[in-house]
Structure 1
Amino acid sequence: MAGSRTGVAAGIALFALATLTACNLPATAGGDSGAPLPSDSTQQLASLKIAAAGPMTGYSRDRFGGDWIKQADGCDTRVDVLKAQGKEVKSKGCTVTSGKWISLYDGATVTSPHDLDIDHLVPEAESWRTGAAQWTQAQRVAFANDLDELVAVTAHSNRSKGDQPPPGYMPVQSEWCDYATHWIKVKAKYKLTISQAEHDALTQMLGACH
């Protein structure tokens, strides 16, 4: 579920990104946030390690940073997500005023940025259970601000999602393909593990791709 994050010093962002790169984890926000082709997703899914989820011991939202970080353009992560994922987006400086967004969880069309949450597609709690507990704080902050990992969705659908992987949560069927390809992309990018039930649900959702 999305947090109420605000901009913080650019130095924190640069430190997080530099640390992430130094540890050979993927670069973060600002990269291509488009989903891979379904065939690529099938290959990525096959590469993921199947393992039991770890415990939640030590987890808190603060382990992923409390606020959105400032990106290279001077705006915070929320603004960059709105600009990247919307169509006909209008803004004044770092304030997005209008646009058109399709909510990944319920397929709803949204025209006001005020009606959108910026959510972590792979919830922070889910990442903790599947690998992030072993990361440094800087790596977790970078993950929490990665445009590949963030989606603009309706507040209502975000509230109902929770922190479960498929099949514990699955979006409306019309969004199965996009949801699965994005989920797999993030899990593969960060080398997070999946359960057998998760693998099977993702395979089912990829069947909706044409």
Structure 2
Amino acid sequence: MKNLLSLLIALAFFAHSEEYERSLYGGWIDADGDCQKTRQEVLISESLSPVIMDEKGCKVLSGTWYCPYTDRYFSDPALLDVDHLVPLAEAHRSGADKWDREKRRAFANDMEHEDALIAVYRGANRSKRDRDPADWMPENKRYWCEYIKDWVAVKTKWNLAYSAEERARINDLRADCK
């Protein structure tokens, strides 16, 4: 009976009302009308030094960023991606497939939770792809506890589900964080 229940939970988790496509979540938006889209806003807010902007004040040209995934510093924003801590495809698999376009766009541009979007080295972000903590963790092990804390906070805020493997890995990692 327990195996049947586990199977039903797994099937419910993976039954999606709509297949994932990046376009379902829209692109970066300019929420406050200042010509700086979400990517630029994240770069500005996370720079450890004053940023240098283009002549229109819309695009960040340089600053100083710390990538917690790699434990490295960067000054060229072209080397950075703004990562969705919980990747869009993972969110989609975890319940966002049932959201309307407006809620998906809000998730994709979430500036309310300070770590929902994070500037990181693009190579690290691209190695992560759409994987959850069961399949990927940052190379910087000193960041793992914070990464898990933020992962859970984002999933909780947006009421997203966990796979059994993801939940088990998070619980194992949290045990080491106490």
| AA in 2 matched with 1:88 | S
Within 5 Å, give how 1:144-155 maps onto structure 2: 144-147=108-111, 148=113, 149-155=116-122
Per-residue deviation, 1:121: 1.1
Q: SS of the counterpart of 1:146?
A: coil
Larger RCO, structure (CA 8 Å, separation 6 or more) = 1
| AA in 2 matched with 1:121 | L
Distance 2:32 2:127 in 1: 32
Q: Does the aligned pair in 2 maintain the 1:106–1:175 contact within 8 Å? A: no
Residue 103 of structure 1: aligned partner: 67
Residue 88 of structure 2: aligned partner: 124
Q: Does residue 72 in structure 1 map to residue 39 in structure 2?
A: no
Paired residues, number: 159
Distance 1:71 1:142 in 2: 10
Q: Does the aligned pair in 2 maintain the 1:176–1:206 contact within 8 Å? A: no
Q: Does residue 81 in structure 1 map to residue 42 in structure 2?
A: yes
Q: Does residue 199 in structure 1 map to residue 159 in structure 2?
A: no
What is the aligned-residue identity percentage?
37
Unaligned runs of 5+ residues in structure 2 are: 1-8
Aligned structure 1 segments of 4 or more residues deviating by more than 4 angstroms? 207-210
Q: SS of the counterpart of 2:165?
A: helix
Within 5 Å, give how 1:128-167 maps onto structure 2: 128-147=92-111, 148=113, 149-167=116-134
For residues 43-69 of structure 1, what are the alpha-carbon distances to aligned partners after superposition, in whole Å with 9 as ceiling and x for unaligned? xxxxxxxx533245422111111x211
Per-residue deviation, 1:151: 1.2
Distance 1:89 1:208 in 2: 36
Unaligned runs of 5+ residues in structure 1 are: 1-50
Task: Tell which structure's C-alpha radius of gyration is larger.
Answer: 2
Calculate the TM-score normalised by the size of structure 2. Answer: 0.80
Residue 5 of structure 2: aligned partner: none
